[in-house]
Amino acid sequence: MHALDWAYDKALNGVPGLDSAGKMAQKYMTMEGTLHERANSLIRWQNAKAGASGFLTGIGGLMTLPVAIPANLASVLYIQIRMIAAIAHMGGHNLRDEKVKTLVYICLVGNFAKDLIQEASIMLGTKLSAKAIESISEKTLLSVNERVGFRLISGYGGKGAVNLSKTVPLIGGIIGGTIDTLTTNIIGNVARNTFLTD
């Protein structure tokens, strides 16, 4: 949870050299096209960033592995949270609202979001959305946040074959970059469908 909260805070307030999620969203809001098309453009660009991060941290092989895996997790987590928060901002949601923050975290688990909601015994109907989560209590929100953290930790722990591949120079970079790109794309699509109304 500390890593998630750290990344969320940095996404909201920005870091030196990078815009906050709100400023990034505003840039995409000035582009041509529908809201969904603008969000898709944002997702594509963040896919490229996540892929580059995965490639660069995986390229070194066994010698850099102890530093590369934590660095990759932190950088990709930040990229993904900032992307989701920017999409939420594009949809007119208040990023300082705890319920919006929880939805951002839920989007991080991608296609497992609905399973996670069901595990927490929350009945949201057929669609995960910002409107559907408004009536959920603070206690339930905390439970959901913990479940997201656990799902992310167990997910990264379950990628043993991917992490093992990072011991081979260059191959680890290609595999890491591909996995991070695909994962970020899934997460972006879930965020778009969650925060942007049809």
Instruction: List the pLDDT tens digit at each of the 198 positions of the chain.
Output: 777 888 889 889 988 888 899 999 999 999 999 999 999 999 999 888 887 776 666 555 444 444 444 445 567 888 899 999 999 999 999 999 888 888 888 888 776 655 655 555 444 444 555 565 566 666 666 666 677 666 666 655 444 444 444 444 555 666 666 777 888 888 899 899 889 875
Q: Tokens 């913990």 correspond to what residue?
A: 146
| Cβ-defined contacts of 2-5 (< 8 Å, 24+) | 3/73, 3/74, 3/77, 4/77, 4/81, 4/105, 4/108, 4/145, 4/148, 4/149, 4/152
Angle (CA) 103-34-178 rounded to 5° is 60
What is the structure's pLDDT at 70?
45
What is the structure's pLDDT at 127?
52
What is the structure's pLDDT at 31?
94
Distance CA 100, CA 145 (A): 11
pTM over 0.75: no
User: Taking the CA atoms of the chain, what radius of gyration do you get in angstroms?
Assistant: 17
DSSP string of the chain? -HHHHHHHHHHHH-BTTB--HHHHHHHHHTSSS-HHHHHHHHHHHHHHHHHHHHHHHHTTGGGGHHHHHHHHHHHHHHHHHHHHHHHHHHTT--TTSHHHHHHHHHHTTGGGHHHHHHHTT---TT---TTTTTT--HHHHHHHHHHHHHHHHHHHHT-HHHHHHTTSTTHHHHHHHHHHHHHHHHHHHHHHHHHS--
What is the structure's pLDDT at 165?
46
What is the structure's pLDDT at 131?
61
5: left (phi over 0), alpha (psi -120 to 50) or beta: alpha
